[in-house]
Chain A
Amino acid sequence: MKRLRDDPHLRPLFVLAACAVGLALVDARDFLTVATAASSLETFATIGLVALGLGLTMMIREFDLSVVGMYSMAGCIAVVMGGTYAWLGLACALAAGLAAGLAQGWLIVRLRLGSVGVTLGGLLVFAGIAYVVTENRALPYENMEVALGLSAPVGGIFSVRSIVAIAIFAAAALVIGLTRYGRDIIAIGSDRRAAMTAGVNVDALVIGIFGFSGFCAALSGALLSYSLASASPAGLSDVIVPAAAAAILGGVSLAGGTGRPLGIAMGVLSLAVLRAGFNAVGAPPYVNEVAMGTILLLVAVLDSTYLARRLQGLVRRVH
């Protein structure tokens, strides 16, 4: 029982249950509906893949700030290039995301730079491109068939977008759970020098993970723009706040070396249920923003390096 309680990967399950029960207590009739489940999964599709990419970079003790910029830029690329053929726009957006992610990883590894600095530059460059392309307005996407097709319900509560997100989560969970990449990632996050000594190809894996993070952000950005039938530059807090909160809720630590894709998925799902629940019970939009900010602040405190030491100090002072 103690082992169960201390397992960080179970944390998101408790949070998810608490969110669901809490919202059901507030307004069961509006919350416990198929519509809420479907809207949760749509939010899952919107922030899930970003959280997965960001979470993986956190697992190797880096941080990919550029995901928000990539998210906006990929949406613009997809809408601009995909006017006639939606797949062409998607392919261009994904290629840009992968290439930009790999380039950032290469800079970090080759020039031995901090990932926050490099991805801060990446964030501004990508967001800047999105602003320049869209002229800070919403760019319309004329291909309504694609837009409707992506959002159309599949099997009651799913949509193409959420199925894509779930499939990528499943693939990531399989690769990390069953191949040596999973152990290598944990090893890099725990002690990079030891991992290198043990024969892990650290540089290649770091570059690869940044590439994957760029790819994930581009995929969800492009699909979101298609389904909304427009592209517009996203604010920083819209995506990265829930994504970072979901990753940490899901058992990833900023200190690196812990976490797994299923945990991140549960973290995303709890925040998605929370957001859908706020909508269902008719809360004003700022409630969601305040809640996400508060949750991120709380998990940052729970994840902080000196929390245990400070609490012990306080307890000692009381006695």
Chain B
Amino acid sequence: MSQSAEPPLTDRTLAAPAQGQMAARAGEPRNYVGIVRVAVLVILAAVALTTPGFLSQPSILSLLTTVSFIGCVAVGMTLITISGNIMSFALGALVGATAMVFVLAANWGGFAFGLVAGLAFAAVTNALQGFLIGWLRANPIIVSIAALALIYGVAEAFAAHGTIYAATGTSYAGFKGKVAGIPVEFVVFLCVAAVAQFLLSLTTFGRNLFLVGSSFRAAEAIGVHTWRAVTGAYLWAGLFTAPAGIMLAIRYDAASMNYGLGYEYDAIAAVLVGGTVIKGGEGSVLRTLAGAIVIGVIQVVLVLQGLRTEWQYLIAGLIVLGVIALQTPGTRD
């Protein structure tokens, strides 16, 4: 959890110009935000630990799988947020659609084919949006909302009954187990997070992404191919989101657009809680990991306290409002 308060050295050095400036200008509010953050974490931990059954094994396992599904989408969202495009409203729909593509393809050509088809579908769908946003500089919010409507509309055309079931006889039992006591989902999520952090911290693509996000004009002026960075961010966001859909399909041996409902909101809440800045150019996957754990804990506590899932939107909204109000005051552009 300390990651959220203290970003790792690597991305601080990479995004040095933007962050140095920010710290100099807003040193005071930062400390204040830090205090609020620690206080909230302490309260959350206290509520979680005093909730009966939170530390039981089924509850911890369900926490890990919840965090994994939200986390994969949130890691994808992190790249989009860092690139300066705020968020994508289409990632939840992408989760459902990827699950459907995976089940359809796996029914037709086997598990491996389904895996490839699901990942390719998510990458291409997202990269197309990224291309419109990066190359033409179309508005990212509008493009993602349009993509949301298109994905739902096309899915409805293909699956009139809503749910697609895995063919009888195909069982993904091997992928439902545990590795050393940890759910497979969580292992996949950790791999996704590791790949994303590697991309952001150690590659030219990652460096360009931070540059484009902190100042589009400056990045363009020094000759960065801005559209490649933005398209890449969306492409990778699709690839990181796809595992969530595929794992949901494996878990339920079926796929439906409903599987993805609300994931984009949990993801953006996780990204913002982790401390990635909504206006871009600053952030890390490790922070999002911490944010996803916070959101996961909140959801598991809500369920254990007997509150219905309908409360999740309200809680996510209050979190987003609170974090945004605290985040970098007075640095609107």
Residues in chain A within 8 A of chain B (CB atoms):
63, 65, 107, 111-114, 116-118, 120-129, 131-132, 135-136, 236-237, 240-241, 244-245, 248, 254, 284-290, 292-294, 296-297, 300-301, 303-307, 310
Known: A112-B330, A287-B153, A288-B153. 19 other contacts (CB 8 A): A107-B325, A117-B278, A122-B321, A124-B317, A124-B320, A125-B317, A126-B317, A128-B312, A128-B313, A128-B317, A136-B310, A241-B148, A248-B142, A290-B157, A297-B143, A297-B146, A303-B138, A305-B136, A305-B137
11 of the cross-chain contacts (CB-CB < 8 Å) are: A118-B325, A121-B324, A125-B318, A128-B314, A240-B145, A248-B142, A288-B153, A290-B150, A293-B150, A293-B153, A310-B135
CB nearest neighbor in B for A127 = B313
Which listed residue, B139, B311, B332, touches A303 by the CB 8 Å rule?
Answer: B139
When chains A and B are docked, how far (Å) is the Cα of A84 from the Cα of B164? 45
Which listed residue, B86, B142, B152, B310, touches A254 by the CB 8 Å rule?
Answer: B142
CB nearest neighbor in B for A118 = B324
Whether A300 pairs with B139 at a CB distance below 8 angstroms is yes
Q: Assess whether B290 is interfacial by the CB under 8 Å rule.
A: no
Known: A63-B141, A286-B157. A125 touches B147 (CB 8 A): no
CB nearest neighbor in B for A123 = B317
CB nearest neighbor in B for A244 = B142
Whether B279 pairs with A114 at a CB distance below 8 angstroms is yes
Which listed residue, A136, A240, A245, A300, touches B132 by the CB 8 Å rule?
Answer: A300
CB nearest neighbor in A for B318 = A125
* Residues of B in contact, count (CB < 8 Å): 46
Whether A131 pairs with B314 at a CB distance below 8 angstroms is yes
Bitwise, B313-331 to A at CB < 8 A (1) or not (0) is 1111110111011000111
Shortest C-beta distance, B273 to chain A (Å), equals 12
When chains A and B are docked, how far (Å) is the Cα of A112 from the Cα of B277? 15
Residues from chain B with Cβ under 8 Å of A114 in the complex: 86, 278-279, 332
Residues in chain B within 8 A of chain A (CB atoms):
86-87, 89, 132, 135-139, 141-143, 145-150, 152-154, 156-157, 265, 268, 278-279, 308, 310-318, 320-322, 324-325, 329-332
Which listed residue, A241, A285, A305, A310, touches B156 by the CB 8 Å rule?
Answer: A285
CB nearest neighbor in A for B317 = A124
When chains A and B are docked, how far (Å) is the Cα of A63 from the Cα of B142? 10
Residues from chain A with Cβ under 8 Å of B136 in the complex: 301, 304-307, 310
Whether B149 pairs with A113 at a CB distance below 8 angstroms is no
Known: A125-B314, A307-B136. A296 touches B149 (CB 8 A): yes
Residues from chain A with Cβ under 8 Å of B146 in the complex: 241, 245, 293-294, 296-297, 300
Shortest C-beta distance, A252 to chain B (Å), equals 12
Known: A125-B314, A297-B147. A120 touches B156 (CB 8 A): no
Residues from chain A with Cβ under 8 Å of B314 in the complex: 124-125, 128-129, 131-132
Shortest C-beta distance, B115 to chain A (Å), equals 27
Whether A254 pairs with B139 at a CB distance below 8 angstroms is yes
Residues from chain A with Cβ under 8 Å of B157 in the complex: 284, 286, 290
When chains A and B are docked, how far (Å) is the Cα of A241 from the Cα of B144? 10
Whether A117 pairs with B149 at a CB distance below 8 angstroms is no
Known: A124-B313, A289-B152. A300 touches B138 (CB 8 A): yes
Which listed residue, A121, A285, A307, touches B321 by the CB 8 Å rule?
Answer: A121
CB nearest neighbor in A for B142 = A300
Whether A241 pairs with B145 at a CB distance below 8 angstroms is yes
The 9 closest A-B pairs by CB, nearest first: A124-B317, A128-B314, A121-B321, A293-B149, A289-B153, A128-B313, A125-B317, A293-B150, A290-B153
Shortest C-beta distance, B58 to chain A (Å), equals 25
When chains A and B are docked, how far (Å) is the Cα of A122 from the Cα of B318? 8
When chains A and B are docked, how far (Å) is the Cα of A123 from the Cα of B321? 10
Residues from chain B with Cβ under 8 Å of A121 in the complex: 317-318, 320-322, 324
When chains A and B are docked, how far (Å) is the Cα of A196 from the Cα of B269? 34
When chains A and B are docked, how far (Å) is the Cα of A124 from the Cα of B329? 22
CB nearest neighbor in A for B320 = A121
Known: A112-B329, A113-B324, A241-B146. A124 touches B152 (CB 8 A): no
Residues from chain A with Cβ under 8 Å of B312 in the complex: 128
Whether B268 pairs with A120 at a CB distance below 8 angstroms is yes
Residues from chain A with Cβ under 8 Å of B311 in the complex: 128, 131-132
Whether A112 pairs with B268 at a CB distance below 8 angstroms is no
Residues from chain B with Cβ under 8 Å of A285 in the complex: 156
Determine which residue in B137, B149, B265, B318 has the highest number of CB atoms from chain A within 10 A of its CB, and name it: B149
When chains A and B are docked, how far (Å) is the Cα of A288 from the Cα of B154? 11
Residues from chain B with Cβ under 8 Å of A294 in the complex: 146, 150
Which listed residue, B143, B153, B265, B329, touches A300 by the CB 8 Å rule?
Answer: B143
Known: A114-B278, A125-B321, A136-B310. A120 touches B87 (CB 8 A): yes
When chains A and B are docked, how far (Å) is the Cα of A11 from the Cα of B154? 28
When chains A and B are docked, how far (Å) is the Cα of A310 from the Cα of B331? 31
Shortest C-beta distance, B224 to chain A (Å), equals 15
Residues from chain A with Cβ under 8 Å of B156 in the complex: 285-286, 289
Known: A301-B138, A310-B135. A117 touches B145 (CB 8 A): no
Which listed residue, A113, A236, A287, touches B148 by the CB 8 Å rule?
Answer: A236
Whether B320 pairs with A112 at a CB distance below 8 angstroms is no
Whether B135 pairs with A306 at a CB distance below 8 angstroms is yes
Which listed residue, B150, B317, B325, touches A113 by the CB 8 Å rule?
Answer: B325
